[in-house]
Structure 1
Amino acid sequence: MASIQYLGHHSCGGILIREDFVLTAAHYFFFHNRGPCTVVLGAHDISKKEKSQQHIEVAKYYPHPKYNGTLNYDIMLLKLKKKATLKNHVKTIRIPKKNGKTPANIECLVAGWGLTKVNGSCSNVLKEAREKIQFGTECSHIWKHHFRSDHMICTKFTKKSGGVCQGDSGGPLICNKMPQGITAFTFASNCNDPKYPHVFTKVNFFIPWIESVRVGGNRRIQ
């Protein structure tokens, strides 16, 4: 799990998929000041300087070439200036090898340092919750044209258990120990409203693009 920080403040989450690459959402890069960006790995409480933490500057930014500031293709890779040191608190996570469907009703894990309640503040400590994969037809019915079933998946949750919110973008949706989604968007005025499924960028749809970037075959923004 990674905290992506601008000027020392947490902006969004991400996951370490190789010692020198972090996978995250593109919209924070698009809408925020492109100032110095640092990836913090091995953190539990981001308000403290924990011995387990590794702070590594971002060398290159790779938003998906089709991302234009809308909800579609909301995915980005960050190339780190140096490789992370893999140890107990810092490990890479394996991503799916091919595109495929994630069955509905599977329970998955979400995590991040985002808001813990509506109109609240971001959490200093890493939080996690469980959400279940929702049927794509239900997501399309509720989110209309905003939901694209080919490269998005969505989840259902309860108001009691909660889930992702602002500040959790870019963090993972982990199903069967593998990241199937990257947190993309929620209902803007109330992320904890169960009527509106949480939406994630579908990782396995983007495997060819991810591999092309990791071998240096894609454009970059510096």
Structure 2
Amino acid sequence: MILYAFLLLIGISLAGGMESGIIGGKEAIPHSRPYMASIQIKNKHHICGGMLIRKDYVLTAAHCFNRSDYSGQDHLEVVLGAHNVKKDEKSQQRIPVIKYIPHSKFERKNESNNDYSYDIMLLKLKNNAKLNTFVKVMPLPKKNGKTPANVKCYIAGWGLINPKAVVGSNVLREVALKLQENSECERMWQHYFNSERMLCGVSDGKHAFCQGDSGSPLICNSKPQGIVSYTYDGNCANIEYPQAYVNISYFLPWIKKKIG
């Protein structure tokens, strides 16, 4: 699990650990979310989720890539068109990552100073994805708009079905979640939460993302609104502390600038 010292002090756990998790969800209909990407180390181990936003770019969380953990620029691969990540399905496309573009305000030499309201990253693929029934691009929001509280949203990922599990699910799972006013996250997370650049989830103790789901998109009203970022350390279904997402619409100008 990827943890940094300053986050441990207040009990934050980044969701991009070496296992993944959807708490309180169900198995997704195979290939019903063709925009989903499994970000893997070359030993085919899933570490993060992501979303195909162009044939050659995947959007994910910046903390999924820590340069100090790896050598070279070709250690990560993106798997598209997957339902069972432990099988070599005919629908799958495995494409190496050739360029990592984390937001410059997140990428710093001293990781304890990272601003997690900038926890966003683009992955440039070595080859264009072949779009078909199993692999499709998810269009981004057209403008920076506010996502209302209490709207029903969805996230999907590969992994744990409860916080105490040690083996993740092989198949893609999904869960319905709700958002709440950002003021609640500001109250609980204080200066670690930025209401302009982040979205605040509802903590009901039954439905949540968990370690390994970082980078997965939060889909509200059929549109991607957030990126899974962080949760409470040691208990993904913590009732007291809301889960946090990066607000995609805020970063639209940055995304467009980077991918041209």
Bin of the TM-score, shorter chain as denominator length: over 0.9
* Alignment of 1:186 onto 2:218: no
- Measure the CA separation in 1 of the matches of 2:149 and 2:85: 34
Correspondences of 1:50-129 after superposition (within 5 Å):
50-67=89-106, 68=108, 69=111, 70=114, 71-120=116-165, 121-129=167-175
Instruction: For residue 99 of structure 1, report the CA deviation from its aligned partner.
Output: 1.2
Counterpart for residue 219 of structure 2:
174
Instruction: For residue 97 of structure 1, report the CA deviation from its aligned partner.
Output: 1.7
Cα shift readout 1:22-56 (whole Å, capped 9, x = no counterpart): 00001020264256110000101100111111000
- Measure the CA separation in 1 of the matches of 2:85 and 2:230: 23
Cα shift readout 1:183-212 (whole Å, capped 9, x = no counterpart): 000101101112211100100000010001
SS at match of 1:72: helix
Cα shift readout 1:145-178 (whole Å, capped 9, x = no counterpart): 1110010001114333x22100000001000111
Q: Is the 8 A contact 1:152 1:202 kept in 2?
A: yes
**Unaligned ranges ≥5, structure 2:** 1-35
Q: Is the 8 A contact 1:114 1:164 kept in 2?
A: no
- Measure the CA separation in 2 of the matches of 1:200 and 1:2: 18
- Measure the CA separation in 2 of the matches of 1:62 and 1:86: 23
Find the partner of 2:58 among 22, 40, 44: 22
Worse-matched range after superposition: 193-202 or 39-48 = 193-202
Instruction: For residue 119 of structure 1, report the CA deviation from its aligned partner.
Output: 3.0
SS at match of 1:212: helix
For this pair of structures, how many residues does the alignment match? 214
Worse-matched range after superposition: 31-40 or 53-62 = 31-40
- Measure the CA separation in 2 of the matches of 1:90 and 1:173: 18
Worse-matched range after superposition: 192-201 or 31-40 = 31-40
SS at match of 2:225: strand
Counterpart for residue 37 of structure 2:
2
Find the partner of 2:252 among 195, 207, 213: 207
Instruction: For residue 113 of structure 1, report the CA deviation from its aligned partner.
Output: 1.1
Counterpart for residue 182 of structure 2:
136
Cα shift readout 1:123-165 (whole Å, capped 9, x = no counterpart): 21111001111111111111111110010001114333x2210
Letter in 2 for 1:92: V
SS at match of 1:196: coil
Letter in 2 for 1:28: C
Identity across the alignment (%): 51
Counterpart for residue 70 of structure 2:
33
- Measure the CA separation in 2 of the matches of 1:194 and 1:32: 32
- Measure the CA separation in 2 of the matches of 1:32 and 1:149: 30
Q: CA RMSD in A?
A: 1.3
Q: State the structure with bigger RCO (CA 8 A, min sep 6), 1 or 2.
A: 2
Letter in 1 for 2:160: L
Q: Is the 8 A contact 1:130 1:157 kept in 2?
A: no
- Measure the CA separation in 1 of the matches of 2:220 and 2:69: 30
SS at match of 1:89: coil
Counterpart for residue 148 of structure 1:
194
Counterpart for residue 26 of structure 2:
none
